[in-house]
A and B are shown apart, each in its own frame.
Chain A
Amino acid sequence: MTPHIIEIGPWQLVMCLGFVLLAGATSVYHRLGLGRDLLVGTVRTFAQLFIMGYVLTFVFEVRTVWLVLLMFTCMVAAAIHIIRGRVKERGVPFLVPTFGSMLLSYALVSWLVTGVVVGARPWWTPQYFIPLAGMIVGNSMTAISLSLDRLFSDLRSRRAEVEMRLCLGADPAEASADIMRGAIRAAMTPSINSLMAVGLVSLPGMMTGQILSGTDPLIAIRYQIVVMLMLVASTALGAMLVTGLVRRRCFTKGHSLALRQPA
């Protein structure tokens, strides 16, 4: 296949705003009140992606490991910011352990994929490391939110069961083992489901992007397989570390639940 990319020019982008107008008309017709969100969302999409485009161009040209790692850290920090918005729990400080375990586990998986599986040299080659790490952070962010939400809500709703076990001599890990399993399962289920559906129900974004940019579909699918499998691993590793560390903060040193019902 001959690589041939049809460039999207400014007027074509402007034409695409017609799609937003269509969505806006739906909102007006059905009185959904989504007009403002649509406007802000569209402006943010343009702004964020253009900024990211320029940043990536700069990082690809400079090619230093520190800049790549800084960008990776910023991606994890942005994910933490979004997780903070999605997880409503405020009784337990969970952001620092979440940030630490996401940084560690996703850096490990990203390095394994770029340096060992793909074999990029050096391992931090920005064209490989940044998009792959970005997909890991982006996908796992949702998984970590689901898992933390599940952990906190189950510790609250199943408080009597947890305390029953504590009163019979269980330590916090034993008292909340079922709840931990549920939280990790909540994180892993979407990525396992997507393993079942990929290629049948959906063509993933990365593969689609590669094919649009002229890559042989048989190469694109191999990258996609690597991505799908790395997402399962990163989700499992991240959820296990995050829930393990955050769970400790849900109990006092006297082995009682630190989570309280709102006053």
Chain B
Amino acid sequence: MNLALEGVTFGYPGRPELLRDASLVMEDGAYVLLRGPSGAGKSTLLRLLCRLEEPLAGRILLDSDPIDAMPPAQLRRTVAYVQQMPTLIPGTVRENLLLPFSFKANGGRVPPGDDALADRLAAFLLDGVTPDSRAETLSVGQAQRVCLIRSLLLEPRAVLMDEPTASLDQRSAEVVLAKAAELSRQGTTVVMVSHSSDDPAGVTRHACVSGCALEYA
């Protein structure tokens, strides 16, 4: 799935512009590492791609169609955004993982059973975390992985991850990065904000936001 920016300009009201006339095309299955100084607009770029912010000028295209012409719920089912700070609702891990299936727009989807949920938790090295575990008892790193699993349950075609490994130990971070590479190999477009100077395995593109400019290579 192609995700593209065409001459996008954005700034928050009353603050300096973060992006000016930015353009790029992310091809099917691209694994894009997004870097830049703090406050340069990396997270904002992800928010623009899932329409949590609207560009002041320019267009964002999904497979050549402007994203503002799509129903927002359909866009966000297709382009999943995993926030930097994991956000869970009070309750069990199961309630959190199945939350998307309670929304009208996802009504046609069959929620996975407990066995499938337990398999997903194990695949992300969430040892000791079961569907019955309380969300309030999870560490930040565990919560981050539960949020990622929750987003992937909707089988999105693009995943936007905002520093997903920032709160993880090395082994858990490796699992998340391996998953990102696997998604990319399967044709899912992955955009990941990272402060790390190392390139994770499988990265196909680099983008850098700095001083209102967006470089893409």
Interfacial residues, chain A to chain B (CB-CB below 8 A): 160-161, 163-171, 174, 252, 254-257, 260, 263
- Whether A255 contacts B150 by the Cβ 8 Å rule is no
Residues of A within 8 A of B147 (CB): 164
A260/B12 contact (C-beta < 8 A), A164-B83, A168-B151 known = yes
Kindly state the separation between the CA atoms of A165 and B150 in the bound complex, as whole angstroms: 11
A–B pairs, 19, beta carbons within 8 Å: A160-B85, A160-B87, A163-B52, A163-B83, A164-B83, A164-B147, A167-B80, A167-B81, A168-B99, A168-B150, A169-B76, A169-B100, A169-B105, A170-B103, A171-B105, A254-B54, A255-B72, A256-B51, A263-B12
Smallest CB separation, B163 vs chain A (Å): 14
* Beta-carbon contact of B85 and A170 below 8 Å: no
Number of interface residues of B (CB under 8 A): 31
From A169, A257, A260, contact of B154 by CB (8 A): A169
Interface check B106, CB cutoff 8 A: yes
In the bound complex, residues from chain A placing their C-beta under 8 Å from that of B122 are none
The reply to whether B52 and A174 form a contact with Cβ atoms under 8 Å apart is: no
Residues of chain B within 8 A (CB-CB) of A263 are: 12-15
B104 interfacial contact with A, CB 8 Å: yes
Distance of B75 from chain A, by nearest CB (Å): 9
Q: Which residues of A contact B65 (CB under 8 A)?
A: none
Least CB distance, B167 to chain A, in whole angstroms? 15
Residues in B with CB closer than 8 Å to A171 are: 72-73, 103-105
Distance (whole angstroms) from the CB of B216 to the closest CB of chain A: 24
Candidate in A161, A167, A252, A263 with the most chain B CB atoms within 10 angstroms = A167
Q: Does B135 contact A (CB under 8 A)?
A: no
A263 to B, closest residue via Cβ: B14
Name the B residues within 8 Å of A165 (CB-CB).
99, 103
- Contact, CB under 8 Å: B50 / A167: yes
B76 touches A167 (CB 8 A): yes
Bound form: Cα–Cα A257–B99 in Å: 20
Name A254's closest neighbour in chain B (CB-CB).
Answer: B51
* Closest Cβ neighbor of A161 among chain B residues: B87
Q: Are A167 and B13 in contact (CB under 8 A)?
A: no
Q: Is there an interface contact between A169 and B73, defined as CB atoms closer than 8 Å?
A: yes
Where the two chains meet, the residues of B that have a C-beta atom closer than 8 Å to any C-beta of A are: 12-15, 50-54, 68, 72-73, 76-77, 80-81, 83, 85, 87, 89, 99-100, 102-106, 147, 150-151, 154
Closest 3 CB pairs of A and B: A263-B14, A255-B72, A168-B100
Extra A-B contacts (7), CB below 8 Å, given A164-B87, A167-B52, A174-B102? A164-B83, A166-B72, A167-B83, A168-B76, A255-B51, A260-B12, A263-B12
Say yes or no: B54 contacts A256, CB within 8 Å: yes
Bound: A149/B32 CA distance, A = 42
Write the nearest CB–CB distance from B120 to chain A, whole angstroms: 16
Contact call A255/B13, Cβ cutoff below 8 A: no
Q: Which residue of B lies closest to A262 (CB)?
A: B14
Point out the residue from A161, A168, A169, A256 that lies within 8 Å of B52, measured CB to CB. Answer: A256
Interface centre among A163, A164, A165 (most CB of B within 10 A): A164
Residue in B closest to A170 when the chains form the complex, CB atoms: B103
- Chain A residues positioned under 8 Å from B104 (CB to CB): 171, 174
Separation in Å of the A171 CB from the closest CB of chain B? 6
Residue of B nearest to A91 (CB): B13
Closest Cβ of chain B to A20, distance in Å, is: 45
A166 to B76, Cβ gap below 8 A? yes
Report the minimum CB–CB distance from B59 to chain A (whole Å): 13
Question: CA of A256 to CA of B73 in the docked complex: distance in angstroms?
Answer: 11
Contact of A168 among B13, B14, B85, B103 (CB under 8 A): B103
Min CB distance, B100 to chain A, in Å?
4
Q: Contacts A167-B50, A263-B12; is A254 near B68 (CB within 8 Å)? A: yes
